[in-house]
């Protein structure tokens, strides 16, 4: 019984153990290790795949693109260096025998390194080694400039203790005004216009010719072509831009210095006008005075308006004398195409003998030649004949029979040519204040002095035995003649000088007083008075004894406005040639009084009976003279 009970107990225990074993899971250590390794491998695979897709792939494409860009940029730089012949070898602006001016340098630029070259140079002294300067890039320059500025500050602190105001003895006081030279040049070599080195050297030479101080310059080579440079001057700036494919460069130079920029026009044309063809470069330029300073009379005169101040297609300076030896006068002669009436293409065609209209009538398309004295337009070739005919012949024909004629400041020569056309003339005295006017006129306006086409005339008008040329101040000469009373009276006096009309000498006798005394009893004085009738001049003529004063005007003389002339008669007698005669009578009178040409024709071109009759009609301006 005990054994059976024992077995029964054992069976119950076994049942209990089986019941408990239904809620347990037995996992081996090997299974756990394998599971963990599988999870790690799966996570690594997922992460690796995600990294390749999201990070590595795009990064590789970016790197490939960057490498491609770098290779393209490197190739472009090599091509540019080859084309411009090592453009990095740019010259430094050098100051000789002068300290570097005190300046503060600041700059800001866009990152253009991938699309253009950037080259800069800073000023050095003549004893400074170029190797000490930065080589080429702007970043290197800024590093060098920083150290240079520190050295300048140290030097300036010492200079300020010795020099009042912190300046040096060569400093110049500059007014808030300046001179501006603008130039456009075409038909220039494309290789020259693409070379920063050659352009920079030309710029430095121009600045040197001006006597200016170049502090620094900066050049950008542009893509696909072209160069832009700016030079910073102590006085202001110089800059230019090029179009190599078009063969064009535009340049401007502005300076507040007192030295004129006009003399360097030829230098700029020579240094920048590297001709691309045998035709040579074509230049259009203008010179202007800007700012708020006190302009001189010359800068307000005709010369600085036209042609200097106008961008005309063609103008060429033939001579420029800043101060003559006699009277410190300025004399300029220019050849210039007249706007509206002429253009450069027609002028070039006239130079070619191809049976074109322009080549068959060359004189029409030749540049006009203009003479300026003290900036005032004195004569122009295109209108000198009508001007001198209007100046001379009304007075000569208004006199009954002029024999002795006095010319005052008519050194251009054309007034003498017109006077010598009159048969009755036996003596002509020319009083000229400036020898250079006569010399310049003989050299550049030879036709003014040519009397060979007048019957019995001389090849050179001044060689005529009837002519006497005297160099003297006309006021002093007239005063001396009045005191000496040695010369017999003159029938006609012609004054071609507006100075004595606009600015009469104060506290002395008027010039008109002496001229009145030099006239014969029936004498006539004539003078050009500009584009307006000066009332003071009319009153002065009457106050000094002239009994009758009349005026006339001519609108075809090449001036902006009709030009005014005044005739003053010593007595008040009526003149048939001025007061009564019809144009037909004048024509006959002119034919009898004048010497013909060698061909037997009239020696006049524009002046005739109708012109004379038109002059004699009183104008509205004449009302103020009554």
The pLDDT, as a whole number, for residue 173 is 52
- Reduce the DSSP state of residue 561 to 3 states and report it: coil
- Catalogue the E-assigned strands of 531-572: 548-554, 563-569
Rg value, the chain, Cα: 45
Token pair recorded at residue 225:
């072509």
- Strands 248-255 vs 214-221: parallel, antiparallel or unpaired: unpaired
- Strands 368-373 vs 331-336: parallel, antiparallel or unpaired: antiparallel
Please tell me the distance from the alpha carbon of residue 223 to that of residue 245, in angstroms, as a whole number: 12
The pLDDT, as a whole number, for residue 110 is 56
3-state secondary structure 442-496: HHHCHHHHCCCCECCCCCCHHHCCCEEEEECCHHHHHHHHHHHCCCCCEEEEEEC
On the 0-12 / 13-18 / 19+ scale of CB atoms within 10 A, 197 is middle
The pLDDT, as a whole number, for residue 302 is 85
The pLDDT, as a whole number, for residue 341 is 86
Flag whether the pTM goes above 0.85.
no
Q: Choose the catalytic residue: 130, 496, 503, 579.
A: 496
Query: How far is the CA of 152 from the CAs of 105, 158, 195, in angstroms?
Result: 11, 10, 33
Please tell me the distance from the alpha carbon of residue 405 to that of residue 428, in angstroms, as a whole number: 5
The pLDDT, as a whole number, for residue 618 is 72
* Residue 493 near residue 522 (C-beta atoms within 8 A): no
* Residue 271 near residue 205 (C-beta atoms within 8 A): yes
Sheet hosting strand 227-233, strand order edge to edge: 117-122, 214-221, 227-233, 236-243, 248-255, 177-186, 282-291
For the chain, which ranges sit under pLDDT 70?
1-23, 76-89, 97-98, 100, 102-174, 257-258, 293-300, 486-487, 499-508, 619-626
- Whether 129 sits among the annotated catalytic residues: the reply is no
- Reduce the DSSP state of residue 514 to 3 states and report it: helix
Q: Is 147 left (phi over 0), alpha (psi -120 to 50) or beta?
A: alpha
Angle between helices 196-210 and 265-272 (to 10 degrees): 160
In the block, residue with structure tokens 């290790």: 33
* Residue 462 near residue 413 (C-beta atoms within 8 A): yes
The pLDDT, as a whole number, for residue 104 is 65
All structural domains of the chain, each given as residue ranges with its CATH number in brackets, are: 313-374 (no CATH), 380-625 (3.40.50.150)
* Residue 590 near residue 398 (C-beta atoms within 8 A): no
Token pair recorded at residue 94:
């050098």
């Amino acid at each position: 019984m005990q054994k059976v009970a024992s077995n029964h107990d054992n069976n119950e225990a076994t049942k209990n153990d089986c019941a408990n074993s239904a809620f347990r899971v037995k996992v081996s250590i090997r299974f756990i290790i394998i599971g963990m390794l599988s999870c790690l491998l799966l996570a690594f695979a997922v992460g690796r795949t995600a990294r390749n897709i999201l990070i590595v792939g795009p990064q590789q494409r970016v790197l490939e693109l960057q490498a491609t860009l770098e290779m393209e940029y490197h190739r472009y730089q090599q091509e540019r260096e080859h084309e411009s012949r090592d453009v990095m070898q740019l010259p430094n602006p050098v100051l000789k025998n002068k300290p570097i001016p005190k300046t503060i340098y600041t700059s800001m630029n866009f990152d253009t390194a991938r699309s253009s070259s950037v080259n800069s140079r800073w000023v050095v002294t003549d004893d400074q080694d170029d190797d000490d300067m930065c080589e080429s890039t702007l970043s290197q320059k800024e590093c060098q400039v920083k150290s240079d500025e520190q050295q300048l500050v140290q030097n300036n602190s010492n200079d300020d203790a010795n020099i009042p105001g912190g300046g040096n003895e060569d400093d110049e006081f500059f007014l808030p005004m300046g001179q501006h030279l603008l130039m456009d040049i075409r038909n220039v070599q494309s290789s020259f216009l693409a070379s920063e080195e050659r352009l920079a050297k030309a710029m430095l030479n121009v600045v040197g010719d001006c006597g200016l101080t170049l502090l620094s310059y900066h050049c950008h080579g542009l893509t696909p072509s072209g160069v832009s440079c700016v030079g910073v001057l102590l006085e202001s700036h110089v800059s230019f831009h090029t179009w190599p494919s078009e063969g064009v460069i535009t340049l401007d130079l502005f300076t507040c210095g007192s030295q004129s920029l006009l003399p360097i026009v030829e230098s700029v044309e020579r240094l920048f006008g590297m001709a691309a063809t045998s035709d040579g470069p074509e230049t259009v330029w203008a010179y202007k005075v800007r700012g708020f300073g006190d302009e001189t009379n010359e800068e307000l005169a005709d010369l600085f308006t036209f042609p200097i101040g106008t961008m005309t297609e063609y103008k060429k300076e033939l001579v420029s004398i800043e101060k003559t030896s006699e009277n410190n006068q300025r004399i300029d002669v220019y050849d210039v195409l007249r706007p509206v009436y002429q253009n450069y293409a027609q002028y070039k065609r006239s130079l070619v003998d191809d049976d074109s209209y322009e080549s068959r009538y060359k004189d029409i398309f030749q540049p006009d030649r203009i003479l300026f004295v003290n900036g005032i337009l004195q004569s122009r070739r295109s209108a000198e004949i009508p001007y001198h005919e209007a100046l001379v012949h009304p007075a000569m024909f208004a006199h009954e029979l002029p024999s002795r004629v006095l010319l005052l400041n008519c050194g251009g020569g054309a007034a003498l040519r017109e006077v010598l056309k009159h048969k009755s003339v036996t003596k002509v005295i020319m009083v000229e204040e400036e020898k250079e006017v006569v010399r310049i006129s003989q050299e550049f306006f030879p036709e003014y002095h040519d009397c060979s086409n007048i019957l019995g005339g001389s090849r050179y008008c001044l060689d005529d035995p009837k002519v006497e040329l005297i160099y003297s101040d006309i006021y002093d000469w007239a005063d001396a003649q009045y005191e000496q009373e040695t010369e017999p009276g003159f029938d006609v006096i012609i004054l071609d000088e507006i100075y004595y009309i606009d600015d009469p000498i104060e506290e002395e006798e008027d010039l008109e007083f002496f001229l009145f005394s030099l006239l014969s009893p029936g004498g006539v004085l004539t003078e050009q008075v500009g584009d307006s009738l000066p009332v003071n001049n009319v009153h002065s003529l009457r106050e000094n004894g002239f009994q009758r004063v009349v005026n006339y005007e001519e609108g075809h003389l090449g001036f902006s406005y009709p030009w005014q002339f005044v005739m003053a008669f010593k007595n008040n007698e009526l003149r048939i040639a001025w007061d009564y005669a019809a144009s037909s009578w004048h024509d006959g009178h002119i034919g009898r009084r004048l010497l013909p040409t060698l061909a037997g024709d009239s020696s006049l071109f524009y002046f005739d009976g109708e012109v004379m009759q038109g002059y004699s009609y009183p104008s509205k301006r004449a009302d103020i003279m009554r």
